[in-house]
Chains A and B, each alone.
Chain A
Amino acid sequence: MKRIIPALFIMILPILFYGCWDRREISDLGLVVGAAVDQAELAGKTGVEITLQVANPVVMTAGQGAAAGGGGTGVISGMVPFWTISETGETIRSAISKTNYRIPRHLFWGHNRVIIYGDKAARSGLVPFLDRITRGIESRDNNFIAVSKGDAGKILELESPAFQSTALALNSIFLDKDGWQGILAVDLADFEYRLGTGITSPLAPVVEVIPQTSALFKEKQAGLINTVAITGLAAFDPDGRLVDYFNERESMGLLWVMNRVKNREMTIPHFAGGIEEHISLRQVNAKSKMDVSIGDDGLPVFEIKTQARFDVMEHFGASRGLSDVSVIYDLEKMAASQMINEIEAAVKRSQQINTDVFGLGEEVQRQLRREWPQYKEHWREIYPIVNVTIECETRIRDRQLAVEPPGSRTEGAGQ
C-alpha cells in the first residue's frame, strides 16, 4: 500500500496535464490537400505566389451542415468543402504565413497530396521552390509533383462537376493511372533523387485544364465546363530548370524504357480482305533492359531491349482473324513496331532538348564503372549524339472471353 498510493497518485496527476497549451486536435486543423506555387512579381522583385487547397471537413460529413453533403460543387450552401486561398510573399513560407490572416485554422501539411508548379517558376529553376517543401517537418516525400503549363494557381481554383478538390482529383489520377498511356506519377522523392544525381533529368507530369466534353447545359451555364488532365511530361535539366515538354506519344515511349508502364493500351490497324479494322490491346507486363557498350568512336552505345505482353481487349470489325496464328504474329509485330516508334520519338526528343530523362548516364556509370569518369564531365555534350538502338519483342497472351467477334464470318464459309 505504501507504494501503491503514490504510484496511483502519480498516474492520476498527468490527466490534469492534458489539454494544456499545445493541444491541437484534428478539428482545429486546416488540412492542406494541395498546393500550387507560382513565380510572382513583388514590387519589381521576383517573389512567390502560393495557392493552397484546404479541406473544410464539417461540410463533408453527412448529416452536418445541412444540404452541403449533396452539394458537390460547393455552390449550394454557403460553405464549401474545400477552400482555395492564395497569397504572395518573398519566400514560400512568408506567403504561407500570410494566409493565416484569413484561415481560422492551423494549417497542417501532413495530408498534402499534390504540389503543382507554374511554368514560370519551373523554367526559372525549381530548387528554391523545393526547399520549404522538403525542409518542413510535416511535409511528406510521397507528395506528387506536377507542372502546369500556365498559372499553377488556376489549376487548384478550378471548379468542376466531377470533383470537389482538384488536388485530390489529381491524387486519384496519379494513384490509379500511373503508367497508363503517357501518365507518370512523380513524387518528391523521385524528383529529388534525379535532381541529386546531377546527370539524370528530373521529370514531372504536366497538368492542364481542358474542357470536359460531356458538360451538361446546366453545368455550362454555371461555368463548370473544364476538368484537369495529365497531358505529357515536363523535362528538367539536371539543375532543376524546366527545358521543354514531352507530348503524349514521347511520354509513352519514355515510360516503356523507364519500366513504369502499367495497363498501357494501344490500338493496332488490322487488314482483313482489304478492309481496315482495328484491334485494341492492353499491356499486361513489360520489361526493359539497357545494355551499354563502347562504340567505335569511343562514345557509349546503348541498346534498349523491351519486352511486353498484351491482352486483346477488342476487335472492332466483322471479319474473323484472331483465331489465325499468323494474324496474331502480325499483331505482335505491329505492336512492336509501334513501341519502337514511340521509344524512338522519346529518344530523339530528349536528345534534341538535351535532357537525359532515361538515366542513360547513370546506366553508363553502373555498367561501365571504369570508363565513366572520362564521360562524366562532358555528359551534357555527349548525350545529344550518343547512338541508341531499340529492340522490341511482344507477345499476345490472351483474347479474354471471345476468340472472334460474335457472328463474324470467314469469307465464303457458311458458318
Chain B
Amino acid sequence: MLRLFQKVNRKAKKIASSGPKQVPLPHAFKDISSSLADNEAYLRQEFVDISDIIFRQFYVAEVKFLAVWFDGLINNRVSHDIFRALMLDIPEGQLLEVAKEKRAELINKSFLPFYRTSQVTDLGEIKRWILMSKMVLLVDGCPSALMIDAEDRPQRPIAEPVIEPSVVGPHDSFTENIRINTALIRSRLGDAMLKSEDYIIGRRSNTLVTLLYVADIANPKIVEEARRRLSRIDTDGIIDSSHIRELIQDRAYSLFPTMKSTERPDIVVADLLEGRFALVVDGSPQVLTAPSIFIEFLQAADDYYINPMVAWFIRALRYMSIFIATNLPGIYVALVTFHHEMIPIPLVFSIAGARETVPFPAYFDALFLLIIFELLWESSIRLPRVVGAAINIVGALILGQAAVQSNLVSPTLVIVIAISAVANFSLGSGYALALSVRVIRLAILTAGGILGLYGIALTSLAFLIHMAGLRSFGVPYFEPLAPLILKETKDTLYRSPRWDVTDRPALIAGNDITRDNTPPPAPPTDNSSSSDPGSKKHSRRGGR
C-alpha cells in the first residue's frame, strides 16, 4: 500500500518540479559560509533546545558532510539510500578533483538519485527547508548546500469521501498531504496549462499553499486577485484550509459560504475546468475553490455522473429541500398562530386537537424541538463513536416519543421539524450551506412567530437581498440567475446532457469560453444511408 502511495507521490513530484518553484515569502537572508563549522554553528544555534532534530556528520575522502533533518519527517529507507549514495558510491577521487566550491553541484548532478533536489545558498532558506520536512546536506568548503526532498511525513492513505460521499463516480478523497492532493488533481487534469504557484503562509507554521488554475481558461483578473489576497495574509499559523478561507473570502460576516471547500478531487478538477482557481493547503484534506456561486452548494458530484434527466429531478428536489429546510417550521408556526384560515379544515381539526393539551405557544414548542434537534446533531458529532448509538436511541426514540406523550410538544410539530431536518441534509455537497441553513431556519421561525407569513416574507427578502449583494472574487453570488444568463441555466436550474452545455460560465471563466464541441448524438444522416440505398434494402431482405 505504502509503496503505491509513494509512487503517486513521486510522480507528482516529478511533474511539479518541472516548473520553477516560487517561494515568495521573505526570510532573513544570511549567505552560507564556505566553512561547514560556521554553518553548523549557525544551524545548531537556530535549532537549539530541539530534541528531535538530527545532525549527521560524515566524511567522504576526508571531506566533511553534514546532513540535517527532523526525525520522522524523512523516510528512513530513503535517508538510508542517501547515505549509501554519498558514502559508498561517490568515487573519492572525483570528489577531490573538483574545486571545493563545485562539490555540492557535482554531488547534485551526479550522485543524488532523487527527484527533487536543489542548491541553496542562503542559511535562512536552509533553515526553512529543514522546518518544512526536507533534508539539507552541507558540504565543507562549499558555499552552497543541497536540499533533498525525501519527505515522508506521517500520513493516512487516500480514503472514501466522508463529507461528500457519492454513489457513483470516483471514490477517492484528499488527504492531509499536499503532494498527494496535487497529484490527485494532476492525474485527472493532464494539461500543461494547469499552473501551480506555491506560497508559504504562516510565520510560524510555514504552511505550503498551492494555487492551482488553468491558465488559458481562468480569468486572469480573478487569479491576480487571489494572489493579492494570499500575499496579504500575515498570520502565525495555518492549520486547515478553512483558515485560509476565512482570511481571504469576501464577506466574513455573511452566513453564506462564498468559497467552496471540498474533499473530492473530481469536484476540484471540474471547478478548474470551469475557470475557477483552487487552493490546496498542506495539512488539510479540504481543497478550496473559488469563485463560488450559491447554486454550486446545492449541487452534488453525483449530478454529473447519473442520467441528466434524473439529475434534473434530483436538483429540483434539492431546491425544494432548501425551501423546506429553511421555511417549514416558520410557516407551521405562522399558520398555527396567525393564519388559521389557511389550513384545510380536516387538518385544522387535527392540529387544534393535538395542540389542545400542549401548554406552550407554538413558537416556543418549535424552538424547543429545534434546539433539541440541534443538540442531537451537535452531540452526535462530538460524542465518541462508541457512545454514538446510545445517543441515537435517546434522541430518536425516547426524546421524540416521550415529548409527545407528555404533551410537551404536539405530534404535528414533531413531523414538521423532522421533515425540515431531513431536508437540511439533502442539500447536496454543501455541508457549509447545511450549517447556514440551521441559523436561517431559526431566524425565519422567529419571524414567523412574531409577524406571521408577513414576517417570513420579510426575512426571506432580507436574506435574498443580502445574498444578491454577495460576491465571490467579483462574481455575483446569484450568477446565472441574477444577473440572468439564460444559456447557463442549462446547468443550474436543470441539467442538460454534456454536449448541450457548450459554454463555461462566462462570468467565471475569462478565456476559452467554449467547453464542448461534441455534436449532439444523432441517427445516421440521410447522406450516409442514401449513399447505397440498394445494398441496404438488400441486406435487410437478406437478413430476413
Is the CB of A162 closer than 8 A to any CB of chain B?
no
Is the CB of A15 closer than 8 A to any CB of chain B?
yes
Most buried by A among B340, B349, B354, B355: B349
Do A4 and B253 have beta carbons less than 8 Å apart? Answer: yes
In the complex, A114 Cα to B337 Cα: how many Å? 24
Residues of B within 8 A of A60 (CB): 349-350, 353
Is the CB of A189 closer than 8 A to any CB of chain B?
no
Given A15-B446, A25-B362, A57-B345 contact (CB < 8 Å): no
CB-based nearest A residue for B253:
A4
Residues of A within 8 A of B358 (CB): 27
Shortest Cβ distance from residue B411 to the other chain A in the assembled complex, whole angstroms:
9
Shortest Cβ distance from residue B441 to the other chain A in the assembled complex, whole angstroms:
14
CB-based nearest A residue for B407:
A64
**Residues 127-147 of A contacting B (Cβ, < 8 Å):** 138, 140
Shortest Cβ distance from residue B203 to the other chain A in the assembled complex, whole angstroms:
24
Do A31 and B348 have beta carbons less than 8 Å apart? Answer: yes
Shortest Cβ distance from residue B444 to the other chain A in the assembled complex, whole angstroms:
12
Residues of A within 8 A of B450 (CB): 14-15, 17-18
**Residues 12-31 of A contacting B (Cβ, < 8 Å):** 14-15, 17-19, 23-27, 29, 31
Is the CB of B341 closer than 8 A to any CB of chain A?
yes
Which of A105-113, A204-212, A216-224, A377-385 lies at the interface?
A105-113
CB-based nearest A residue for B337:
A25
In the complex, A184 Cα to B348 Cα: how many Å? 27
Shortest Cβ distance from residue B256 to the other chain A in the assembled complex, whole angstroms:
15
Given A55-B349, A168-B345, A26-B355 contact (CB < 8 Å): yes
Is the CB of A58 closer than 8 A to any CB of chain B?
yes
Shortest Cβ distance from residue B171 to the other chain A in the assembled complex, whole angstroms:
40
In the complex, A24 Cα to B352 Cα: how many Å? 12
Given A18-B450, A25-B336, A26-B336, A57-B341 contact (CB < 8 Å): no
Q: Report which of B345, B350, B354, B364 forms a contact with A33, defined as CB distance below 8 A.
A: B345
In the complex, A18 Cα to B333 Cα: how many Å? 12
Do A29 and B352 have beta carbons less than 8 Å apart? Answer: yes
Is the CB of B169 closer than 8 A to any CB of chain A?
no
**Residues 1-59 of B contacting A (Cβ, < 8 Å):** none
Residues of A within 8 A of B355 (CB): 25-27
Q: Contact mask B220-264 → A, CB, 8 Å, 1/0?
A: 000000000000000000000000000000000100000000000
CB-based nearest A residue for B358:
A27
Is the CB of A275 closer than 8 A to any CB of chain B?
no
Residues of A within 8 A of B354 (CB): 61, 64
In the complex, A111 Cα to B343 Cα: how many Å? 9
Is the CB of B351 closer than 8 A to any CB of chain A?
yes
Q: Report which of A11, A33, A57 forms a contact with B352, defined as CB distance below 8 A.
A: A57
Given A15-B446, A19-B364, A64-B357, A57-B350 contact (CB < 8 Å): yes
Is the CB of B430 closer than 8 A to any CB of chain A?
no
Report the interface size for chain A: residues with CB under 8 A from the other chain: 30
In the complex, A59 Cα to B253 Cα: how many Å? 50
CB-based nearest A residue for B365:
A25
Shortest Cβ distance from residue A163 to the other chain B in the assembled complex, whole angstroms:
13
CB-based nearest B residue for A64:
B353
Residues of A within 8 A of B351 (CB): 26, 57
In the complex, A108 Cα to B352 Cα: how many Å? 13
In the complex, A26 Cα to B337 Cα: how many Å? 6
Do B253 and A61 have beta carbons less than 8 Å apart? Answer: no
**Residues 390-448 of B contacting A (Cβ, < 8 Å):** 443, 446
Q: Contact mask B352-389 → A, CB, 8 Å, 1/0?
A: 11111110011110000000000000000000000000
Do B364 and A27 have beta carbons less than 8 Å apart? Answer: no
In the complex, A58 Cα to B410 Cα: how many Å? 12
Do A31 and B363 have beta carbons less than 8 Å apart? Answer: no
Q: Report which of A19, A33, A55 forms a contact with B361, defined as CB distance below 8 A.
A: A19
Do A25 and B361 have beta carbons less than 8 Å apart? Answer: yes
Is the CB of B449 closer than 8 A to any CB of chain A?
yes
Do B356 and A64 have beta carbons less than 8 Å apart? Answer: yes
Residues of A within 8 A of B449 (CB): 15, 18
Given A14-B446, A18-B361, A57-B356, A111-B348 contact (CB < 8 Å): yes
Residues of B within 8 A of A17 (CB): 450
CB-based nearest A residue for B362:
A25
Shortest Cβ distance from residue B255 to the other chain A in the assembled complex, whole angstroms:
11
Shortest Cβ distance from residue A7 to the other chain B in the assembled complex, whole angstroms:
9
In the complex, A197 Cα to B430 Cα: how many Å? 60
CB-based nearest B residue for A105:
B352
Shortest Cβ distance from residue A406 to the other chain B in the assembled complex, whole angstroms:
41
| Extra inter-chain contacts (20) besides given A25-B361, A27-B356, A64-B354, CB under 8 Å | A4-B253, A11-B446, A15-B449, A18-B361, A18-B363, A25-B336, A26-B336, A26-B362, A31-B348, A31-B349, A31-B352, A55-B349, A57-B352, A57-B353, A58-B357, A64-B353, A64-B357, A110-B340, A110-B341, A111-B340
Residue pairs across A and B with Cβ atoms less than 8 A apart, 16 shown, are: A11-B443, A15-B446, A15-B449, A24-B337, A25-B355, A26-B337, A26-B351, A26-B362, A27-B355, A29-B352, A33-B345, A55-B352, A57-B353, A61-B356, A108-B340, A138-B341
Which of B's residues lie within 8 Å of A, judged by CB?
253, 336-337, 340-341, 343, 345, 348-358, 361-364, 443, 446, 449-450
Which of A's residues lie within 8 Å of B, judged by CB?
3-4, 11, 14-15, 17-19, 23-27, 29, 31, 33, 55, 57-61, 64, 108, 110-111, 113, 138, 140, 168
Question: Which 9 pairs across A and B sit closest by C-beta, in order of nearness?
Answer: A110-B341, A61-B353, A57-B353, A57-B352, A27-B355, A58-B356, A57-B349, A26-B352, A26-B336
